[in-house]
């Protein structure tokens, strides 16, 4: 850690965060949950909302991929994803689902507004984002794909999308400051 110049979990808590919230809608795999925690830590994401059947820390299976990120990244559990969405919208977050819909915007052309707070909803590995959750979202984004499959693993989707938002919203320069 020292050689890499990494901050401790305690220092992480005191640092500025990227004003982005990750919402996990009924994620089955605890390893996917752990991976999202680790990615959220890397980009200093504000917090993660774990919803429905999504497992919560502390959990041995989550820890396998989170590698301690559950100690640095703030999280909260909601029984219903719809309640999490409503709470975020009441706090002026623009909520976007990562889902292929007839009205999805392509991630590569979507330009987030730097003055807007965002929440990104990632859905179940098989069923995607629930229909009632999609109905509440302010829009949806999809990652262009050109192979025979029509989806990425949720942890891959989170990594691609969080990096895209992180760079498009100028956070590399902002959070790189001591």
The predicted model scores a pTM of 0.94
- The side-by-side arrangement of strands in the sheet containing 75-78 is 75-78, 45-51, 18-25, 117-122, 93-98, 139-142, 105-106
pLDDT at 150: 84
pLDDT at 1: 47
Sequence spans of domains, the chain: 9-175
pLDDT at 11: 87
DSSP three-state, residue 75: strand
Q: What is the mean pLDDT of each run of 10 residues along the chain (178 residues)?
A: 72 90 98 98 96 97 94 97 98 97 95 96 96 98 92 95 94 69
Q: What architecture (CATH level 2) is domain 9-175?
A: 3-Layer(aba) Sandwich (3.40)
């Amino acid at each position: 850690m020292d050689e890499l110049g990494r901050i401790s979990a305690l220092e992480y808590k005191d640092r500025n965060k990227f004003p982005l919230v990750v919402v996990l809608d009924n994620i089955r795999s605890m390893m996917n949950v752990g991976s999202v925690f680790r990615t959220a830590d890397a980009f200093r994401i504000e917090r993660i909302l774990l919803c429905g059947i999504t497992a919560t820390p502390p959990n041995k299976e989550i820890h396998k991929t989170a590698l301690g990120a559950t100690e640095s990244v703030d999280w909260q559990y909601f029984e219903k994803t719809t309640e999490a969405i409503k709470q975020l919208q009441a706090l002026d977050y623009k909520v976007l689902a990562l889902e292929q819909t007839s009205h999805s915007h392509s991630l590569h052309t979507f330009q987030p507004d730097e003055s807007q707070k965002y929440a990104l909803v990632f859905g179940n590995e098989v069923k995607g984002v629930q229909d009632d959750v999609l109905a509440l979202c302010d829009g949806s984004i999809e990652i262009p794909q050109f192979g025979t499959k029509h989806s990425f693993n949720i942890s891959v989707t989170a990594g691609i999308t969080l990096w895209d938002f992180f760079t498009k919203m100028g956070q590399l320069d902002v959070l790189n400051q001591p």
